[in-house]
Structure 1
Amino acid sequence: MTTSPGQAPALELLAADHYSQYLIRETREIAYVLRQVASHRAMITAYFGKTGEFLLTSVLEITADNRHILLDLGKDSELIGKAMSEGQLLCATQIEKVKIQFVLEQIELTDHEGFPAIRAPLPGLLLRLQRREYYRLAAGTLDSLNCHIPLPGGRMINARVLDISGGGIAIIAPPEGNSLEADKVFDNCRLDLPDSAPVIVSLHVRNIFRMKTRGGQEVMRVGCQLLNLPAAASNQIQRYILKAERERNQYRN
């Protein structure tokens, strides 16, 4: 299967400078995400060349040493020949509403369990982008994550985090006397991540509503956007989300 001539893929990975905070560079995390792609049997669109032609494929295996990836080869010999001559595949897929994109280079033909396949070194870079830009980790998988918000007059709110993403957090705050109002910005907030240095962030309050806990206590749920987050801090949050998600999946299995 091919796209029409001249139709190049419009992928976020091609604008890596803009989406740098969603790029994964750590080999073990990349291998983990790609094994998720394999376990979901997600279809991959592998683009090659300048005209937007593509192969439809899937991940067969990530080698035990995390050094190589194997893809299903397909049956269109002419298209396969074109892809191999380019030597590079720009791969895009999606699992559970999360976009995943990566580039494979040094591709070569090989065998996998008696069938032809494509083999390539594990990509050194992978984009993981939730549909609305962020993947959100819910409270059930959080381990006592807290955010400390300085208030006027030297006071401080120590709030429990309900969920977290690369773009924001939701917290639980007391219903009275917290000075949290929609559209307010709070600087120098400290987000405590387990097994990691605290992350200093600015929070833009986007929405507030009252809710009751299972015990009947009334609290405020406050949704906040993370403002001007440095790339290093964003990567730190993304690493925490990936680690927590990986541990949750291992517990379920």
Structure 2
Amino acid sequence: MTDRLDDFRITAPAEIAALLKQLADQSVHLSLNAPNGSSITVTVWTVDAARGKISFSAVADDPQLNSLVDCDEAVAVGYLESVKLQFDVDDLVLVRAGAHSALNGAFPSELFRFQRRNGFRVSPMLRTTPVARLRHPMIPDMQLGLRVLDVSIGGCALFLPDDVPPLDPGVLLNGVTLELDADTRVATSLRLHHVTAFNPDSRGVRLGCEMVSPGSDGVRALQRYIDLTQKRRRMLAAG
């Protein structure tokens, strides 16, 4: 049987190296996730396919750094425009250097390249105002209710007003509740990947987020919401 991931798998070292170098050149934030649940944000520092090595730049005082290194392996996830890249990193070794540290690992033997939007993305109906409720990651006492601009099975976009302290790409937003309509509540974490400015009159920015571990119930609720929203839009268009 053909592996359903074969269409997305890249095994040529030169092609893998080229994609990793793009990540490095653009200083793309990657999420490194270890089997023990540890997760940190890094950028690719150097890529050496000939020697079979890759290095990441990490924040030395990240509280989960040592726990991740103890696992000796992690899965890296990052984005190049509309494409999601994912690869395993083995033989992790930490080299400390002041405020930042180099995290060295083995050059990946394969890399997966997915289209970022793995599900239909819908904008809420005008009569509803979905919100994402969460605490500001840098100011835990600050409760936020951010408007949901659009949503798919894999992610969502939120509106961050100018009067709210900014959020940096790469940050993990824990304890998020998406209140999409009267019947749909989804508990998830969100990984912020993109911050995009609107026109000056909008008084805010767009946060492009990936959903992290919404759970099977959350995924089913999202699918129902997306299907229902599509159906309602088709009915309005037909009328």
TM-score (norm 2): 0.48
TM-score (norm 1): 0.45
Q: Which has the larger radius of gyration?
A: 1
Of Structure 1 and Structure 2, which has the larger fraction of its residues in strand?
2
